[in-house]
Structure 1
Amino acid sequence: MLKIVVEEKITDLLEEKFREDAFSECFLVDLKLHANNKLEVFVDSDFGITFETCQKLSRYLEQYLDEEKWLGERYTLEVSSPGVGRPLKLLRQYPNNVGRKLEVKLTDGEKRSGILKEVQESGIVLEEKVRVKDGKRNKTEIAEIEIAFGSIAEARVKVTF
């Protein structure tokens, strides 16, 4: 079966599942079908995704994959959260990351880094440390920078220890 058709069918199944009360806060972030019949499904939730939710979604999809044979007899299915290292793809992912450090690549190539302070309808507010001249010395100040969603090429959560 064609890769695009399988991806569309899986997307439709998940959208149907997300209409159920128990999964209404969930949403599909990304879906990738690899040449070796490995299907990766990345889901998230407005309040964070749990292992149990991923497990239930995996079993739900497996029943269709086993019955319909969309991927043949042998396949690998992985249902998980996108993980910290993956870029934020949907506006819906940003609120869960308020208070975390983001690295943002802008469409003009510029990079910004700071704490995600706020998510607005039109964009985000990052709290950045900026170096400014104070006489002969440089000093660090905190600035809040507004970035429109349309200006963001990629945003990633950075783990700090």
Structure 2
Amino acid sequence: MPDTCRVNIGKQHPAAYKTLIALSEEVERATAAAGLDPLLVELLRIRASQINGCAFCLRMHTRDALRKGENADRIAVLPSWLETSYFSETDRAALRLTEAITRVQDGHVNDEDYNAAVAVLTADQVSAIAWLATVMNAFNRVAITSRYPVGS
């Protein structure tokens, strides 16, 4: 059972949390302007949250993706996206870049992952995905640090 006596850092410093929300809203506009499919955007949020082990964000973005019309099978196989035919070339490039950014502790965003992304994605898409991954990783850390409750 998680420790429920954690400081909720978003409530402790609401101005900082509101700034993160505002950044997230700006990134949402950037992903739309770059022509990224809203379903792909949700999958990228889910994938970063899977890597980070953020149950709160996983639940929220899985629900959001399903509500927007995402296929449950694509969500189910997301951790093994490389092994399936569910994902387009654009999806794969975006997932690969999101994973590389989320796993920077494994050796930064290497040239192979970056070059694979820029071979398929526009500069606007690369930038929007990088910002999306950055914001999602920040939200994951807020929820994990504060131990946002998940469950009935």
TM value normalised by structure 1: 0.24
The answer to which structure has the higher strand fraction is 1
> Is the helix fraction higher in 1 or 2?
2
Query: Which structure has the larger Rg?
Result: 1
- If the length of structure 2 is used for normalisation, what is the TM-score? 0.25
